[in-house]
Structure 1
Amino acid sequence: MERNQTVISTRTRGGNVLYKININNPVIKKIIELNNFLCWKDVEQKEKKQKITA
């Protein structure tokens, strides 16, 4: 994952390497975009159900 730059090492603590997601990677940007889309779709569906039952 570090080789294709989906994650970036940030620091080493106690012999462990800590990582963070590389949000500048185009693949990661698309994954984040997909996640946001799916979350909004779920919210919209739940709102429709609440309006129907209310």
Structure 2
Amino acid sequence: MKGFSRWSPQLLGLLRIVAGLLFLAHGVVKLFGFPPAAEPGVQPIASLFGIGAIIEL
């Protein structure tokens, strides 16, 4: 495992970027309805679903 310690900062940075992009993608689908999800329509912001979308953005 000593070989991974050298790459630790880069791997952690990559993990943070990928996790952030996943949250962003789910928030955009919930708030703006793009790209179309399996459940059509944009959710109201005042609902729990809408608040979750804001947190994800």
With the length of structure 1 as denominator, give the TM-score of the two structures. Answer: 0.48
TM-score normalised to the size of structure 2? 0.46
Q: RCO greater where, 1 or 2, for CA within 8 Å and sep 6 or more?
A: 2
* Higher alpha-carbon Rg: 1
Q: Which has the higher strand share?
A: 1
Higher helix residue share: 2
